[in-house]
């Protein structure tokens, strides 16, 4: 092939701060499925992750997850969604497994 016909692909490298949480969460679920987790467990992860992304937005980057943002999310679960302590801890535990 002539040089003019060769296309070089530019490798796009994203920093950790630019990686989307929703993409990383799907990777996490794929990994857990490969590890043999039950479908019920995977659905539980999906539910927790969807609730998390509904609060923060689909375009949240992994760099935006901070201790402070998690406290705000916990406050949201407790006050606005009026969830029990057990439910709040369940959601946070699954998010911590991902982070």
Q: Give the model's pLDDT for residue 86.
A: 94
Question: pLDDT for 54-93, tens place per residue?
Answer: 999 999 999 999 999 999 999 999 998 888 999 999 999 9
CA pair distance 96, 43, nearest whole angstrom:
16
Q: Give the model's pLDDT for residue 81.
A: 83
Confidence of residue 9 (pLDDT cuts 50, 70, 90): low
Q: Give the model's pLDDT for residue 10.
A: 54
- The answer to whether 66 touches 57, Cβ cutoff 8 Å, is no
Kindly state the average pLDDT of the residues 21-40: 96
The average confidence (pLDDT) of the chain is 87
Q: Which residue has the tokens 């402070």?
A: 68
Task: Specify the pTM.
Answer: 0.78
Confidence of residue 27 (pLDDT cuts 50, 70, 90): very high
Q: Write down all domains in the chain, each with its CATH number in brackets.
A: 16-98 (1.10.150)
Close Cβ partners of 52 (under 8 Å, ≥ 6 residues apart): 21, 73, 91, 95
CA pair distance 19, 15, nearest whole angstrom:
7
pLDDT above 90 covers a percentage of the chain that reads 75
């Amino acid at each position: 092939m002539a040089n003019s016909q060769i296309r070089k692909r530019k490798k796009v490298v994203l920093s950790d701060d630019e990686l989307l949480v929703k993409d990383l969460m799907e990777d996490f679920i794929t990994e857990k499925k490969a590890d043999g987790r039950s479908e019920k467990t995977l659905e539980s992860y999906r539910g927790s992750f969807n609730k998390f992304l509904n609060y923060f937005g689909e375009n949240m980057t992994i760099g935006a997850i901070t201790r402070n943002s998690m406290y705000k999310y916990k406050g949201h679960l407790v006050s606005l969604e009026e969830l029990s302590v057990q439910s709040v801890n369940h959601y946070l535990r699954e998010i911590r497994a991902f982070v």
